[in-house]
């Protein structure tokens, strides 16, 4: 017996939501979505309204079409990233006793312009493509070491052996955290991934654990800077003010929640596609110069993040009446599989005429780590294809997926013949 | 041929730069450095590819008058 997923309770439909834009879809527990997520995304594109309201998870809008996502992502005045308004959070924090443990805030992912830019600017350079290119060789070494450990086995569960450890190791290296913290952060990633949605107290405690695990290094680098991100963060200013310990912990927490399971899932979806398509593996092994294009098309074909927004005002958006404080999901997997934007969208095509996807979102919240993610994915595919012969999915152990704000690959069992 | 870029609309995807580092120079933050570019002869195809690669659609190609 497989576990039956229980849908979240449906809430009453607000008066401004018409029948024409109502569609019942649970982005956390929809059974068809959990069985084969991107197939269900295609089904939504074919059968659901391009912008619809679902009564699940407290009730929220789903922006499914490419145009809805592209427009909403760039209209930050209407579609706020402050799911809880910044002023409201500040007011709550101001009420806490002065000796309370610090509350990590993942700025600026949850801030709107102009404050968003003030927190983003200091870290832009570190994540610029030129800066990230300098990390390539060390990432290649890490990927190679992980793959060497499984190459002789002929069988592996890829998520736990490669897809998860690689971004954790890159994170440690980038921030300058000691390698001994690997197990700590692996465990924190696992807890973060397996957490049920909705328990905000437990979520906060986990983020505090993330911050606690880097505090020693943060303090050590203040007095003794090295060539790493934490040292650099001590030397920058936010809106003209020197960074504080809390600022640096906030950035560390942001990079943890935005940069670890995302890269891991990108690897999972991409390697699953390769395992399903041995002839594509052959093509890429024969001409590794094509792997860059393959990385982009895999990101488009299996876009997997669903950033939340809050309506900042009443608006008629794409013909649909929305009200202030409604919640809306940028369903980017829908945008990149929209056949109106990408003809024959389910087809994997190595070069779609150079047409760009929005797997890293559009607008000012474009994924800060996108250049690092691309490098990690690209190198992982290169090293994997160079080290392993044709690999395939284990027919006896099917791929397991998870839903929510990130479409996750939980288990990916591979086989190959050495 | 000229390239005109709505610099304020650049969000740092750097996909143009991935097509041609020389045509589409970036600043230290990874955002486009220039607003207008004279495309050197022979670079027209790369200019078009770079423009098409922009996810924000802020790069415009201005063809020379015939």
Position B41 pLDDT exceeds 70: yes
Query: pLDDT at position A6, please?
Result: 86
Whether residue A320 lies within 8 A of chain B, CB to CB, comes out as no
Q: pTM for this one?
A: 0.96
Position A116 pLDDT exceeds 60: yes
Q: Extract the tokens encoding A336.
A: 């990149």
Q: Where are the domains of chain A?
A: 19-416
Q: How far is A362 from chain B (nearest CA, A)?
A: 7
For residue A313, the 8-state DSSP code is S
For residue B60, the 8-state DSSP code is E
Residue bearing tokens 């700025």? A107
Q: Extract the tokens encoding A275.
A: 């395992």
Is A129 in contact with B14 (Cβ distance < 8 A)? yes
Position A321 pLDDT exceeds 70: yes
Whether residue B20 lies within 8 A of chain A, CB to CB, comes out as no
Whether residue A354 lies within 8 A of chain B, CB to CB, comes out as yes
Arithmetic mean of pLDDT over chain A:
94
Whether residue A159 lies within 8 A of chain B, CB to CB, comes out as no
Residue from B12, B17, B51, B54 whose CB has the most chain A CBs within 10 Å, to mutate: B12
For residue A162, the 8-state DSSP code is I
Chain A residue numbers with beta carbons less than 8 Å from the beta carbon of B12 are 124, 128, 366
Give tens-digit pLDDT for A263-319: 999 999 999 999 999 999 999 999 999 999 999 999 999 999 999 999 999 999 999
Is A356 in contact with B29 (Cβ distance < 8 A)? no
Task: For chain A, positions 60-89, list CB contacts with chain B under 8 A.
Answer: 74
The DSSP string of B9-20 is G--S--HHHHH-
Query: pLDDT at position A89, please?
Result: 87
Whether residue B61 lies within 8 A of chain A, CB to CB, comes out as no
Residues ≥6 apart with Cβ < 8 Å to A94: none
Give tens-digit pLDDT for A138-192: 999 999 999 999 999 999 999 999 999 999 999 999 999 999 999 999 999 888 8
Chain B residue numbers with beta carbons less than 8 Å from the beta carbon of A74 are 56
Is A370 in contact with B13 (Cβ distance < 8 A)? yes
- Tell me: domain A19-416, CATH 1.10.630.10, correct? yes
**Residue A80 pairs with which residues in a beta bridge?**
A310
Query: pLDDT at position A195, please?
Result: 72
Q: Describe the strand order of the beta sheet including A308-311 as a list of residue ranges.
A: A51-54, A60-63, A327-330, A308-311, A79-80
Give tens-digit pLDDT for A195-226: 756 667 788 888 899 999 999 999 999 999 99
Task: For residues A67 and A73, give the distance between their C-alpha atoms in angstroms, rounded to a whole number.
Answer: 10
In chain B, pLDDT over 90 holds for what percent of residues?
Answer: 95
Strands A60-63 and A327-330: parallel
Exposed e or buried b per residue across A88-109, where buried means at least 16 C-beta atoms within 10 angstroms of its C-beta: ebeeeeeeeeeeeebbbbbbbb
Query: pLDDT at position A1, please?
Result: 37
> Hey, how many other C-beta atoms are within 10 angstroms of the C-beta on A83?
12
Write the burial class of residue A338 (CB in 10 Å: 0-12 exposed, 13-18 middle, 19+ buried): buried
Q: How far is A130 from chain B (nearest CA, A)?
A: 7
Domains of chain B: 2-62 (3.30.70.20)
**Residue A61 pairs with which residues in a beta bridge?**
A53, A328
Query: pLDDT at position A110, please?
Result: 93
What radius of gyration, in Å, describes the C-alpha atoms of chain A? 21
- Which residue of chain A is at minimal alpha-carbon distance from B31? A128
Whether residue B24 lies within 8 A of chain A, CB to CB, comes out as no
Task: For residues A286 and A290, give the distance between their C-alpha atoms in angstroms, rounded to a whole number.
Answer: 9
Is B30 in contact with A355 (Cβ distance < 8 A)? no
In chain A, pLDDT over 70 holds for what percent of residues?
Answer: 98
- Count how many residues are written for chain A: 418
Is A354 in contact with B31 (Cβ distance < 8 A)? no
Q: Which of A212, A237, A272, A3 is nearest to A118 (CA)?
A: A237
Is B30 in contact with A129 (Cβ distance < 8 A)? yes
Residue from B9, B13, B28 whose CB has the most chain A CBs within 10 Å, to mutate: B13
In chain A, pLDDT over 90 holds for what percent of residues?
Answer: 86
Whether residue A358 lies within 8 A of chain B, CB to CB, comes out as yes
Chain A residue numbers with beta carbons less than 8 Å from the beta carbon of B56 are 74, 362-363
Task: For residues A249 and A244, give the distance between their C-alpha atoms in angstroms, rounded to a whole number.
Answer: 9
Q: How far is B64 from chain A (nearest CA, A)?
A: 23
Give tens-digit pLDDT for A28-85: 999 999 999 999 999 999 999 999 999 999 999 999 999 999 999 999 999 999 999 9
Q: How far is A356 from chain B (nearest CA, A)?
A: 5
Q: How far is B66 from chain A (nearest CA, A)?
A: 26
Whether residue B29 lies within 8 A of chain A, CB to CB, comes out as yes
SS3 category, A409: strand
Q: Please work out, in degrees rounded to the nearest 5, the angle formed at the alpha carbon of residue A37 by the alpha carbons of A1 and A284.
A: 115
Whether residue B49 lies within 8 A of chain A, CB to CB, comes out as yes
Q: How far is B25 from chain A (nearest CA, A)?
A: 11
Task: For residues A286 and A297, give the distance between their C-alpha atoms in angstroms, rounded to a whole number.
Answer: 18
Greatest Cα pair distance, chain B, in angstroms, is 38
């Amino acid at each position: 017996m497989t576990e039956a997923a229980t849908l979240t309770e449906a809430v009453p439909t607000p008066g401004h939501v018409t029948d024409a834009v109502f569609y019942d879809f649970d982005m956390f527990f929809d059974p068809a979505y959990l069985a084969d997520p991107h197939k269900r995304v295609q089904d939504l594109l074919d059968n659901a309204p391009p912008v619809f309201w679902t009564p699940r998870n407290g009730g929220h809008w789903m922006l499914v079409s490419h145009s809805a996502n592209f427009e909403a992502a760039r209209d930050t005045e209407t579609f706020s990233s402050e799911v809880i308004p910044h002023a409201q959070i500040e007011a709550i924090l101001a009420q806490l006793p002065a000796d309370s443990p610090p509350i990590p805030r993942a700025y600026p992912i949850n801030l709107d312009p102009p404050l968003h830019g003030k927190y983003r600017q200091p870290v832009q350079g570190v994540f610029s493509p030129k800066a990230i290119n300098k990390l390539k060789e060390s990432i290649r070494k890490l990927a190679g070491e992980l793959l060497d450990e499984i190459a002789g086995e002929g069988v592996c569960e890829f998520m736990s052996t490669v897809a998860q450890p690689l971004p954790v190791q890159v994170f440690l290296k980038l921030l300058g955290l000691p390698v001994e913290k690997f197990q700590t952060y692996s465990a924190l990633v696992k807890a973060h991934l397996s957490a049920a949605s909705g328990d905000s107290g437990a979520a906060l405690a986990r983020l505090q654990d993330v911050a606690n695990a880097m505090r020693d290094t943060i303090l050590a680098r203040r007095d003794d800077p090295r060539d790493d991100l934490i040292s650099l963060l001590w030397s920058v200013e936010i809106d003209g003010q020197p960074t504080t310990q809390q600022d640096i912990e906030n950035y560390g927490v942001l990079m943890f929640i935005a940069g670890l399971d995302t890269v891991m899932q990108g690897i999972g979806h991409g390697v699953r596609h390769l395992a399903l398509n041995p002839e594509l593996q052959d093509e890429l092994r024969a001409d590794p110069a094509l792997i860059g294009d393959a990385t982009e098309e895999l990101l488009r074909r299996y876009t997997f993040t669903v950033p939340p927004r809050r309506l900042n005002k009443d608006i008629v958006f794409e013909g649909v009446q929305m009200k202030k404080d409604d919640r809306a999901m940028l369903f980017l997997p829908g945008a990149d599989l929209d056949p109106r934007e990408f003809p024959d969208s389910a087809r994997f095509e190595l070069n779609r005429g150079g047409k760009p996807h929005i797997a890293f979102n559009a607008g000012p919240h474009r994924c800060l780590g996108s250049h690092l993610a691309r490098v990690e994915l690209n190198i992982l595919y290169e090293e994997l294809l160079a080290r392993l012969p044709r690999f395939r999915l284990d027919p006896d152990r099917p791929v397991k997926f998870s839903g929510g704000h990130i479409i996750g690959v939980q288990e990916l069992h591979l086989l190959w013949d050495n | 041929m000229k390239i005109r870029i709505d610099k304020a609309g650049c969000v740092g995807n750097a996909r143009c730069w991935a097509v041609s580092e020389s045509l589409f120079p970036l600043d230290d933050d990874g955002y486009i450095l220039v607003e207008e570019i004279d495309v050197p002869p022979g670079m027209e195809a790369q200019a078009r590819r770079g423009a098409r690669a922009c996810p924000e659609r802020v790069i415009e190609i201005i063809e020379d008058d015939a």
